[in-house]
Structure 1
């Protein structure tokens, strides 16, 4: 019975853990019961039954079909899709821009390095909210109306109504191309898994890079060709007091996208710079001794190794993009927070609204974390 004595560290650890869980459960029970009692005493209905009722309000832009006659649940789905749409595009653009600026900070060109340094320090030390206001003012107040819209490229119009761009007319061929892309991704993952098993078995697998690129480019192209290879564009055209046709980047979406992209790129630039500087100088010298140019050394030798240092803090920046997108409500973009705020103002379900916002952001953030952690494990050094 010695293992049941208090001097046993395993027993003490188990008791402490059970006590901690009990304390957390007790606090949660108190908060929930107290909240429900207060709501009942004030005759405020609780629960999520309101999600099935008619919303009765319009949303300025929606990636899916929506009208005031739809339910609150669909309205919240529209807000979530708007948030994801802005955050996903901003993550891609900020990664590309931040990588370029981070490399420029280490350039031997004095002017490029100093300009990159000014870019990083200026943007990192300015609140994002102020930057959003600046971009929104530039787009809405310093651009002409539709009839005097700027026309920098064929089919592209910039006005105070937003940015009009050409768009492909929907055709079944694009569905085939999407199916080809999904198939290419599945095959690429299977090839990568097989190559990993071969390496673990001590065999040298064939290089995958070119085959994966060929799959990702070739299968969607084959699907597009099988569908008839349509190239018909829906070009924007002035009609009345606004443009018709094409796709529109509204001023609110464009300002949010510009603000998130440029602000986050400054932080990503520092992450990339630190990752490159973490690689031993001998790696540069060894690669240059083989006759490689500095750009090739960076692309083929240094950056692949720096990724192991870059990816963890880069994940934090991606999560910050998602959370910072909630500032969109300040410039009128109908994101999740904006739609839920309208919902709780109409229904009075404040607690449920806050829980919905928390759950949505938690789901999106955990999805990003899971993907980045998976990628980080793939590129991590494996001890033999």
Structure 2
């Protein structure tokens, strides 16, 4: 009996192998990108050399020679451009953090109000959202700065609140604290209060899961925060000494000042971003099945606790991803401050420093890197929180 002999299959070329073709195309793409990058770099360096323009970051050690309206750290005109960069970074972070916190609070309130059974509250929230989200943020910044802040009276006719806070065309003047010798005792009492509240919240949660009985944790936490640190203040005295702004001559002295550019920028970005956050919150709440609300009501939970304990925790899984995009937009929109002269990264570093030094490539690269780092940090933080609250299936 004859056995069939296997005929060897002819080996094809690399172009007939899908894996080989994939590797070849990827290598060609890498080579093309590297070659393009090298061409741009070589062309840029050649042009800079022909024009006698020096490169590098040594200019950061040179003296700046100009003043800055707002700086969170000590600064004089004899400081370097490196310190100017740090001041611009801190001012950018200040606007971003304040704007994110205020826009989140306002956006959540508006989002809940959009679903309120109260007709007037629902319509007011709708009008707010439709107005502020459809006006470009730059126009809102210009409105708050030129039409509101600069139209306020001068320092001598300042608007005051309790003779402690004063607002005028030069900004908002607030008391500034100075730590006293009893501050350590006050902080110890405050830390003790926070620890007690944490244990109280855990005990209340375990009690609720075991018996269904609800303990008023929020009211108890407020009471603990008022009583324990309050006793420390009564025993040892005030932990801080407040410096009240005083009108001397043509301006106020002592205290803190929030310049009008910062107020206008913060208000505009907050109100603009809050309109988008409100719609995100509304859609997130509506994504939760109505059966969850009915089940909570059947267990005797009031509307407020149903929203806080049942609806919002489930809605957050839908809210967080688009909310991250709004945070990123707010941080990047802070660069619009250049239109009113607020000393953040773009107006201070990519504006004044660039004009004085002529180091366009280095200055723009540093500015772009800062906004990239801020955006990536926000994304990483929000992604971590999103994973933490994600549903875990059994």
TM class by shorter chain equals 0.7 to 0.9
**Counterpart residue number, 2:319:** 310
* Residue aligning to 1:256: 265
- Select the residue among 136, 144, 156 that pairs with 1:127: 136
Q: Distance in 2 between matches of 1:368 and 1:224?
A: 38
Q: Does the 8 Å contact 1:260/1:321 carry over to 2?
A: yes
Residue pair 1:174, 1:224 contacting (<8 A) in 2 also? no
1: CA distance, partners of 2:222 / 2:24? 55
- Stretches of structure 2 that go unaligned for 5 or more consecutive residues are 1-10, 198-216
- Within 1, Cα distance between the matches of 2:12 and 2:223? 61
- Structure 1 gaps, min length 5: 189-207
- Would the alpha carbon gap of residues 153 and 10 (structure 1) be closer, same or farther in structure 2, given more than 3 Å must change? farther
Task: Note the C-alpha offset of 1:293.
Answer: 1.8
Q: What residue is the counterpart of 1:347 in the other structure? A: 357
Give yes or no for contact 2:183–2:240 (8 Å, CA) kept in 1.
no
Aligned positions of 1:1-384 closer than 5 A: 5-171=14-180, 230-340=239-349, 341-384=351-394
Q: How big is the shift at 1:150?
A: 0.7
Query: 8 Å contact 2:179–2:240 — kept in the other structure?
Result: no
Partner of 1:201: none
The answer on whether the counterparts of 1:139 and 1:162 sit within 8 Å (CA) in structure 2 is: no
- C-alpha distance in 2 between matches for 1:39 and 1:291: 74
Q: What RMSD over aligned residues (CA atoms) do the two structures have, in Å?
A: 3.5
C-alpha distance in 2, partners of 1:221/1:50?
A: 52
Equivalenced residues, count: 364
Relative distance call for 1:218 and 1:369 in structure 2 (3 A) is farther
Q: Deviations over 1:294-337 (max 9, x none)?
A: 22211110001111111111111111111000000111111111
Using a 3 Å threshold, how does the CA distance of structure 1 residues 122 and 234 change in structure 2: closer, same or farther? same
Per the alignment, do residues 223 and 12 of structure 1 end up closer, same or farther by CA in structure 2, a change over 3 Å counting? farther
Specify the structure having the higher radius of gyration (Cα). 2
CA contact (8 A) 1:256 1:328 kept: yes
CA-CA distance at 1:180 after TM superposition: 10
- With normalisation by structure 2, the TM-score equals 0.83
How many Å separate the matches in 2 of 1:364 and 1:88?
11
- C-alpha distance in 2 between matches for 1:383 and 1:7: 44
Q: The residue matched to 2:60 in structure 1 has which SS? A: helix
After superposition, the C-alpha distances for 1:111-157 in whole angstroms (9 at most, x for unaligned) are 11111111011111101111011111244333111111111334011
Task: Please say if residues 149 and 157 of structure 1, whose CA atoms lie closer than 8 Å, have aligned partners that are also in contact.
Answer: yes
Q: Mean alpha-carbon deviation: is it higher for 43-52 or for 134-143?
A: 134-143
Cα offset, 1:77, TM superposition:
0.8
SS of 2:117's equivalent? coil
Give the drift of 1:217. Answer: 10
Normalised to the residue count of structure 1, the TM-score between the two structures is 0.85
What displacement does 1:225 show? 11
